[in-house]
């Protein structure tokens, strides 16, 4: 009793914190998408990528980045991508920053800002955040360092190795080159990283922590160890002589198709410029879409196999956060990896949410054309989904052969379709059971 009384006496002397010292309340601002940039297996910029996806092309070819003895040798490489040829990169810079995702991030942020028309100045720079996710970060730089260590000794390990491996470094390097000084963060959500970046950036802008944000994902994953790792876990397609992709590598990725056999590993990048609505108006930026809903959770199930229950909850959360009902969704941008289990589970989840209405909703699987770029995939697909709403089309799922078990899904096979709609659901799921789904409204 004496100890209790003593504690009560002390507690009376503790200072009282007034409400104005607490964390500021969220401003609940609307968040819009003002621009974007992508680098994909089809092109190193968004305009060319868009032209080719609309034409129904796929960007796959035999691996040329390195030499690997494997039948999983059909990949998505960014064509004509050489950071050493960028006007801002000299020979020394290209040598010391040898993680491919560094300069790719800088260039995508530059292109995205240009697309949005957002200029960095004394007013905008401190209010611009950068959130760029990656699943594998600077694995290529580590490989180079290990080779130098084994062949030439410990003194030949680059002093730039650790910066090249730091997940936030590409965003930091972009800030050094482009001038923004807001928060830089690297969301690590495996293959959902791009959506996590967009969702987190939207929350920061909504709450008033930033007025603008560069958000997305970047991946440069085509090195032998990564390719073989995916091959040996039976995730990527093995192209044998009897496979239709043997003579035509462009047919290797076929989400929701009868003969899907695994995803096509690809490098890529996608960065979106987000803005508070009033900040976009004050700067004269043209809003392309609104980030209307975010849903995110985890499976607590398996490190690679998705969990139907929690994936359904994630999609429903995004739709509910948008203030919508499932019937309001006009199109779906599927995660659609081209694996038997992944596509089948996603289809089951969509049936659970949309019921009989699912047959009326067109579904795109962009990985049929650009492959699976891991941490970059969701951001690239978000940009494609928004541009599709802008143009009132739905992009095709190419290389498609009807699967009787998925006959109730309208996957827009092989050619794009004109379609009038206002809202799109964009799905992303990653290793470790991490899920993030977004709802965008067209403007």
Cα–Cα distance, 80 to 74 (Å, whole number): 17
Token pair of 221 as six digits: 């994953």
Measure the CA–CA gap between 186 and 171, rounded to whole angstroms: 8
Assess contact for 77 and 267: CB atoms under 8 A: yes
Number of neighbouring beta carbons within 10 Å of residue 417? 16
Write the DSSP assignment of 9-77 as a string of letters. Answer: HHHTTSPPPPGGGSPPPP----EEEEEEEEE-SS-SSHHHHHHHHHTT----EE--SS---SS--EEB-
pLDDT tens, per residue, the chain with 443 residues: 444 444 344 444 544 545 455 677 778 899 999 999 999 999 999 999 999 999 999 999 999 999 998 999 999 999 999 988 888 888 888 889 999 999 999 999 999 999 999 999 999 999 999 999 999 999 999 999 999 999 999 999 999 999 999 999 999 999 999 999 999 999 999 999 999 999 999 999 999 999 999 999 999 999 999 999 999 999 999 999 999 999 999 999 999 999 999 999 999 999 999 999 999 999 999 999 999 999 999 988 888 888 889 999 999 999 999 999 999 999 999 999 999 999 999 999 999 999 999 999 999 999 999 999 999 999 999 999 999 999 999 999 999 999 999 999 999 999 999 999 999 999 999 988 899 999 999 99
Q: Estimate the share of the chain in helix, then strand, then coil, as percent rounded to the nearest 5.
A: 40, 20, 40
Integer angstrom CA distances of residue 86 from 89, 195, 295, 397: 5, 28, 37, 33
Name the H helices within 327-410. 340-354, 367-370, 377-391
pTM tops 0.75, yes or no: yes
Residues in the chain, total: 443
128-133/212-219 β-pairing: parallel
Cα angle value 421/422/426 (rounded, 5°): 95
Catalytic residues: 191, 335, 372
Helical H segments across 284-438, by residue range? 308-321, 340-354, 367-370, 377-391
Our CA angle for 347, 334, 340, nearest 5°, is 50
Joined together, the tokens standing for residue 129 give 């955040």
Question: Could you tell me if residue 338 is left (phi over 0), alpha (psi between -120 and 50 degrees) or otherwise beta?
Answer: left
Query: Nearest-5° angle of CA 189, CA 194, CA 199?
Result: 90
Question: Can you tell me the distance from the alpha carbon of 388 to that of 384, in angstroms, rounded to the nearest whole number?
Answer: 6
| Whole-number Cα distances in Å, 310 to 39, 338, 399 | 31, 21, 30
Phi, psi angles (nearest 5°) of residue 410: -95, 90
């Amino acid at each position: 009793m004496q100890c209790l009384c003593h504690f009560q006496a002390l507690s009376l002397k503790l200072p009282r914190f007034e409400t104005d010292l607490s964390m500021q309340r969220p401003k609940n601002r609307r968040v819009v998408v003002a621009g974007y940039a992508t680098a994909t297996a089809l092109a190193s910029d968004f305009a060319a990528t868009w032209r080719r996806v609309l034409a129904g092309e796929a960007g796959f070819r035999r691996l040329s980045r390195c030499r690997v003895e494997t039948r999983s040798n059909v990949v998505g490489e960014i064509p004509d991508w050489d950071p050493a040829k960028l006007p801002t990169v000299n020979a020394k810079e290209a040598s010391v920053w040898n993680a491919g995702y560094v300069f790719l991030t800088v260039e995508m942020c530059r292109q995205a800002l240009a697309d949005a028309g957002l200029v960095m100045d004394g007013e905008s720079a401190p209010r611009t955040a950068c959130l760029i996710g990656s699943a594998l970060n600077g694995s290529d730089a580590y490989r180079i360092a290990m080779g130098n260590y084994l062949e030439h000794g410990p003194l030949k390990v680059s002093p730039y190795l650790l910066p090249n491996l730091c997940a936030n470094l590409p965003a930091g390097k972009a800030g050094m080159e482009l001038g923004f000084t807001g928060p830089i963060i690297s969301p690590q959500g495996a293959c959902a990283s791009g959506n996590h970046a967009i969702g987190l950036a939207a929350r920061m802008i909504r709450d008033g922590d930033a007025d603008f944000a560069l958000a997305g994902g970047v991946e440069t994953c085509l090195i032998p160890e990564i390719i073989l790792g995916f091959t040996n876990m039976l995730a990527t397609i093995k192209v044998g002589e009897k496979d239709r992709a043997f003579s035509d590598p462009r047919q290797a990725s076929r989400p929701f198709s009868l003969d899907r056999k695994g995803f096509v590993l690809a490098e890529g990048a996608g960065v979106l410029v987000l803005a508070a609505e009033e900040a976009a108006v004050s700067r004269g930026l043209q809003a392309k879409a609104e980030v209307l809903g975010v849903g995110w959770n985890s499976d607590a199930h398996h490190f690679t196999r998705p969990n139907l229950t929690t994936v359904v909850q994630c999609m429903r959360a995004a739709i509910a956060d948008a203030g919508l009902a499932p019937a309001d969704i006009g199109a779906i941008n599927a995660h659609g990896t081209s694996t038997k289990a992944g596509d089948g589970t996603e289809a089951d989840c969509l049936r659970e949410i949309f019921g009989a209405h699912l047959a009326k909703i067109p579904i795109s699987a962009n990985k049929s054309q650009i492959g699976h770029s891991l941490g970059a995939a969701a951001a690239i697909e978000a940009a494609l989904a928004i541009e599709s709403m802008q143009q009132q089309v739905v992009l095709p799922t190419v290389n498609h052969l009807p699967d009787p078990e998925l006959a109730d899904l309208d996957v827009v096979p092989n050619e794009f379709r004109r379609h009038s709609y206002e809202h799109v659901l964009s799905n992303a799921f990653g290793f470790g059971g991490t899920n993030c789904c977004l709802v965008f409204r067209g403007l």
